[in-house]
Amino acid sequence: MKIETLMTKSLITLQLDDDLNKAKDIFATHNIHHILINDDEGALAGVITDRDLFKQLSPTIGTSKETPRDITFAQQKVHQIMSRDLISAQKEQSINEAVLLFHDNHISCLPVIDEKSRAIGIITWRDILKVIALQYRRKLSNQN
């Protein structure tokens, strides 16, 4: 099975100079855990996770206890906290190769890029786990 059969193709991305508030809103609205960051030419430049974001933001942001410092941190640009050393894949690679990339590199998402380094999809460890679970469920139902 190829990565392209499992990857999410409808991507939610940000630009390098978008602020953390925008990322926070995207995470809250779309119930996702990774946002791909593009450079000005549209090439994949980084990834920000919900964990990256929440390590940076104060728990008091958006509450009555919010401080000016909290507001300043929320206005940081995503490029200041994103992961830049990316492990990525091509859509033609196999799911087995993706599993090895996840395992060997201790990552939780794998951006899928084209020949110009533009993001065309994303696959997460949860996507892989879902396939394994469905295959196992089928196997169990065939045994009965």
The separation between CA 125 and the C-alpha centre of its own chain, rounded to angstroms, equals 10
- For residue 28, give Cα distances in angstroms to 35, 44, 97, 133: 12, 22, 31, 27
Domain that holds residue 95: 3-143
Mean pLDDT taken over the chain: 92
The secondary element (H helix, E strand) that includes residue 36 is strand 34-38
Task: Kindly report, residue by residue over 67-91, the tens digit of the pLDDT.
Answer: 777 777 778 899 999 999 999 999 9
Task: Kindly report, residue by residue over 85-109, the tens digit of the pLDDT.
Answer: 999 999 999 999 999 999 999 999 9
The pLDDT value given to residue 74: 78
- The number of domains in the chain is 1
Runs of H (alpha helix) within 37-85: 50-56, 68-74
Average pLDDT over residues 10-39: 95
The pLDDT value given to residue 66: 74
CATH of the domain at 38: 3.10.580.10
